[in-house]
Amino acid sequence: MSDNQRVIEIEVLRYNPEKDTEPFKQVFDVPFTDDMSVLQGVQYIKDYLDGSLSFRWSCRMAICGSCGMMINGEPSLSCETFLRDYYPARVRVEALSHFPIEKDLVINMEGFIEKLESIQPYIIPKEERTLAQGEYLQTPEQLASYEQFSSCINCMLCYAACPQFGLNPDFIGPGAMALLHRYNIDSRDGGKGERMELVNSEEGVFNCTAVGYCSEVCPKHVDPANAVNQNKTNSAADYFMRFLTPKGGAK
C-alpha cells in the first residue's frame, strides 16, 4: 500500500435470513482512492473482507439500475456515488428503503415488477394497422413530449424515496406511473382508457401527496412526480366526466 493510502469506514446494514432475527450494522475499514465509488467499496469488502456480503450490480455506469441502495440515508446508485465525497466521515450503506430485505443489500422487488407488468408497458394501437401501412411516423416534438419518461432504468430509487409507498406498498408508485404516462402520451398509443382503471383505483395516483422526493433522487431526471400528478388531473377529469360521456369513462 502507498504511504498516502487513506482508509474510510463503511457501515453496512447486514441481514442473513438463515442466521439473523433482524438486521444489524457492521463496520468495515476500506482502503480507497479518489476514483472509487461506493459500489467499488462494497466490492472491496466482498472480495477481501467478507465474501458473504450480498448486493446487486452490473454495468457500474448508472444505466442498468441494479446497484441502488441507501447511502447516508439517501436513495442513490452506488456506482455513481463516490467515497471521496464522504471521507473522513463514515459511509452508511443500507438496502433500498420501503422494500423487504432478502439479504444484506438485496431487496425483494417482485411487487415492483408486477406493477410494471400491470400497466401494459407496450404500444396499444389506436386502431387496427396492417404491415402494408408501414411504420408509425413521429415528429421530434411528439418524441420530446414523452422521451424523459422513457428514460427510466427501473432502479427503484423513486420507490425508496416515496414515503407513501413505504406506508402503503400497494400504491402503484412513481416508477410504474412514469412508464404508464410514457405510453399514454406516446402519439402511437391509444391505450389510455385501458390504463385508467389502475390510475383511478385506491392503489392509484391519489396515494401521492406530492412530496416530490422521487423526482429529486431519480438518476435519469425522469420526473416521476410529474407523471403521477398530471394523472391526478386526468383521473379527476375521468371521475367527474364519466356521467357525461356515453362510454362513461373507465371502470
Site residues, another protein (CB under 8 A)? 15, 17-18, 22-23, 73-74, 97-98, 100-102, 108, 145, 163, 166-167, 197-198, 200-204, 206, 209-213, 215-216, 223, 225-226, 229-230, 232, 235-236, 239-240, 251
Query: What is the Cα–Cα distance from 167 to 177, expressed in whole angstroms?
Result: 18
Q: Tell me how many degrees the CA angle 230-236-239 measures, rounded to the nearest 5.
A: 145
Query: What is the Cα–Cα distance from 242 to 145, expressed in whole angstroms?
Result: 27
Question: CB of residue 198 vs another protein: minimum separation in angstroms?
Answer: 7
Phi and psi at 111, nearest 5°, equal: -60, -40
* Cβ distance to another protein smaller for residue 22 or 128: 22
In order of 45, 70, 138, 142, the CA distances from 56 in angstroms are 14, 13, 37, 36
Question: CB of residue 229 vs another protein: minimum separation in angstroms?
Answer: 4
Residue 32, helix vs strand vs coil:
strand
* Cβ distance to another protein smaller for residue 9 or 197: 197
Question: CB of residue 239 vs another protein: minimum separation in angstroms?
Answer: 4
Question: CB of residue 138 vs another protein: minimum separation in angstroms?
Answer: 17
H/E segment holding residue 196: helix 192-200
* Cβ distance to another protein smaller for residue 1 or 210: 210
Q: Look up residue 116 and give its three cell numbers.
A: 410494471
* Cβ distance to another protein smaller for residue 57 or 206: 206
* Cβ distance to another protein smaller for residue 32 or 146: 146
Question: CB of residue 40 vs another protein: minimum separation in angstroms?
Answer: 25
Q: Look up residue 97 and give its three cell numbers.
A: 428503503
